[in-house]
Amino acid sequence: MLRDPLLALVGPTASGKTRAGIAIAEALGAEIVSVDSATIYRGMDVGSAKPTRAERARVRHHVLDVADPDRTFTVAEYQRLARVALGDIRERGSRALLVGGSGLYFRAVVDELRFPPTDAGARAELEHEAALVGAGTMHRRLASFDPAAASRIEPENVRRTIRALEVATVTGRCFSEFAEAWERYPLGRVRAAGIQVPPDVLGARIEQRVREQIDAGFLDEVRALLERGLSRSTTARQAIGYAEVSRFLAGETTLDEAVAATVRRSKALARRQMAWFRRDPRIGWFPAGAGGGTDVLDELREYLRG
């Protein structure tokens, strides 16, 4: 059980959480625990918008660069590492600030949630089948007997689809049954602020960021990751941007098509993130404009200060 409410800054991709989170952590004397499913991977820096070395020098960050991209990393592993980090932060007498856009990881840290068992053999068979028939077919199979779970998973996200099918194979129960606890939001566990950006403004921020990532060496980053085994990781190779750039480097698409697909998936991700976070009544929302979190930095800081 958490002794004191955690502090958290959440919101959709490209809403300015990283910059605002660092400024807030500095003001509160806090350390940041990343709540993101892509920044956990070593070498996935540009495409995941991971905090830079300079930003990490300003504020201590946790649960970044904890796994190589050639392996699958589960939310249960993340939960364990995040809780270890929180314990270490408390022991030093410091304060933790959760910052990120993964609703699943956020709830895994904030609430006492358990995750269904895994089975490497069943997962390997499902991954092999997915490679043969494609993500869409696997997602439709999931939807046929567990529509609730399928409705919360992007059809292109074969990793999460396989996970839901794996749970059904191992336990004989629908993956959505394990999610019942996710519908409860115990008070007192967290004081969370959310950055809310108008859809049109957020869309423009997403487009700008993707093009800036291309200019910042994203192509070289993906090329290096492919050489290190990115294609062997179901999780990493499906990450937004990495999948699209990988197809471009393989000669399957043009760069413009890769950029457009990345923007499209990023916008869809932002919509799902907001839908997830809006279900949590514990999050206080702060409307921002073109500057994202920096527009409402003072308000965010005072709200989290309590």
Q: Is the pLDDT of residue 112 over 80?
A: no
Domains of the chain: 6-111+189-305 (3.40.50.300), 120-179 (1.10.20.140)
Secondary element (H or E) of residue 30: strand 30-35
233 burial type by CB count under 10 A (0-12 exposed, 13-18 middle, 19+ buried): buried
Q: Is the pLDDT of residue 278 over 60?
A: yes
Average per-residue pLDDT in the chain? Answer: 93
Residue 176, pLDDT score: 86
Residue 114, pLDDT score: 81
Q: Calculate mean pLDDT across residues 80-95.
A: 96
Q: Residue 140 — pLDDT band, cuts 50, 70, 90?
A: very high
Spatial separation of the C-alpha atoms in residues 295 and 129, rounded to whole Å: 47
Give residue 31's identity as a one-letter amino acid code: E
Spatial separation of the C-alpha atoms in residues 217 and 171, rounded to whole Å: 44
Strand partners, 100: 10, 35
227 burial type by CB count under 10 A (0-12 exposed, 13-18 middle, 19+ buried): exposed
DSSP conformation class of 51: P
Spatial separation of the C-alpha atoms in residues 165 and 130, rounded to whole Å: 11
Beta-sheet pairing, 283-287 with 61-62: unpaired
Q: Which of 59-73, 129-143, 220-234, 292-306 has the lowest mean pLDDT?
A: 220-234
Q: Calculate mean pLDDT across residues 223-229.
A: 88
Q: Which residues contact residue 245 at a Cβ distance below 8 angstroms, ignoring those fewer than 6 apart?
A: 47, 218, 219, 222, 258, 262
16-25 residue pLDDT tens: 999 999 999 9
